[in-house]
Amino acid sequence: MSDSQLRLSFEFFPAKTAEGKEKLIKVRDELNFFNPDFFSVTYGAGGSTRDNTKGLVTKFKADGISTAPHLSFGGDDDDSIKQLIQEYKDAGVDRIVALRGDMPSGVGGGMQLVYANELVAFIRKHFGEHFHLEVAAYPEIHPQAKSYSDDVRYLKGKFDAGANSAITQYFFNPDAYFFFIDQCHKAGITQPIFPGIMPIINYKNLIRFSDACGAEIPRWLRKALENYGDDEASLKAFGVELISELCETLLENDAPGLHFYTMNQTEPTAQIVRNLGLIPVE
């Protein structure tokens, strides 16, 4: 990267088919040109993608690429999670994204959710300081949070349990991030909080994701995106410009780096990173 002070990372979800896995390796190689600090690989509800996640992470690591698995307890017991983490450690993995996660669909209320601070404490108890632990943060507040202050306090609990840094849910209003950081500082949080960035690729998918996770799409942006209709090329061009400007604003105001939700695609993430000048130094 052009600025060694900034952290750059890219997120994938595990491919389900052989063709999808092959494509994902190609995308990884293309994005690896930017020399990211790490890639991360998501973990399905209740660990539903456990094997695919582990397979992808260990493959990347074997190829010499720093990769962090997402991890949650879901419906697993202590021994199963401990064994999985040990397998990651044995494979040379040194970073984990620790999450509360969600129960798989169809699972009743008899299973107890294990919160992210508990997972962080569990990893620290059994593996000491081996792993750099990332946790999730929500500038626009987790949809299940009782209040803004409760959510900030809960994030502090994750750090108090031993987390090193946080990655945010994506957002389109930079002021939401800046206000959140200010409130975190007032709550005594000093660890870095990296903004999560969602490139705009498909309008309908973006609306669906955002409605599901509680990320706000401002009304003006919804209307602007609706205006492009089926003109995907123009929508993507607009999205690249908009997200590039968002990232510039974040970095100009001391965001410590960027974490891209790539949707398993090279573009438009690569173009946004190029626009920011975050390219390897020769």
- Known catalytic residue: 232? no
Burial 159-168 (b: 16+ CB within 10 A, else e): bebbbebbbb
Number of other CB atoms surrounding residue 99 within 10 Å: 22
Q: What is the distance, to the nearest Å, from the Cα of residue 221 to the centroid of all Cα atoms in its chain? A: 22
Of the residues 11, 22, 241, 267, only one is catalytic, namely 11
DSSP-derived letter for residue 136 is: E
Lookup result for tokens 């209040």: 147
Number of other CB atoms surrounding residue 49 within 10 Å: 20
Q: What pTM was estimated for this model as a whole?
A: 0.93
Span 7-275 CATH architecture: Alpha-Beta Barrel (3.20)
Q: Residue 47 has what pLDDT?
A: 54
Rounded-to-integer distance, Cα 87 and Cα 95, Å: 13
Q: What stretches of the chain show up as alpha helix (H) in DSSP?
A: 18-31, 50-62, 78-90, 116-127, 148-160, 174-186, 203-213, 219-226, 232-252, 269-275
Comparing C-alpha atoms, which of 9, 124, 136, 134 is closest to residue 66? 9
Q: Residue 93 has what pLDDT?
A: 98
Comparing C-alpha atoms, which of 146, 154, 143, 152 is closest to residue 102? 143
Distances from the Cα of 139 to the Cα of 80, 230, 237, angstroms: 32, 31, 26
Cα dihedral across residues 50, 37, 78, 43: positive or negative? negative
Q: Residue 75 has what pLDDT?
A: 73
CB half-sphere exposure, 161, CA atoms < 13 A: 24
Kindly give the confidence (pLDDT) of every residue in the chain, 282 residues in length, as a single tens digit, with 9 standing for 90 and above: 444 579 999 999 999 899 999 999 999 999 999 999 999 999 875 555 678 899 999 999 999 999 999 999 877 889 999 999 999 999 999 999 999 866 454 444 444 558 999 999 999 999 999 999 999 999 999 988 999 999 999 999 999 999 999 999 999 999 999 999 999 999 999 999 999 999 999 999 999 999 888 899 999 999 999 999 889 999 999 999 999 999 999 999 999 999 999 999 999 999 999 999 998 765
Tokens linked to 43: 């973990």
DSSP-derived letter for residue 34 is: G
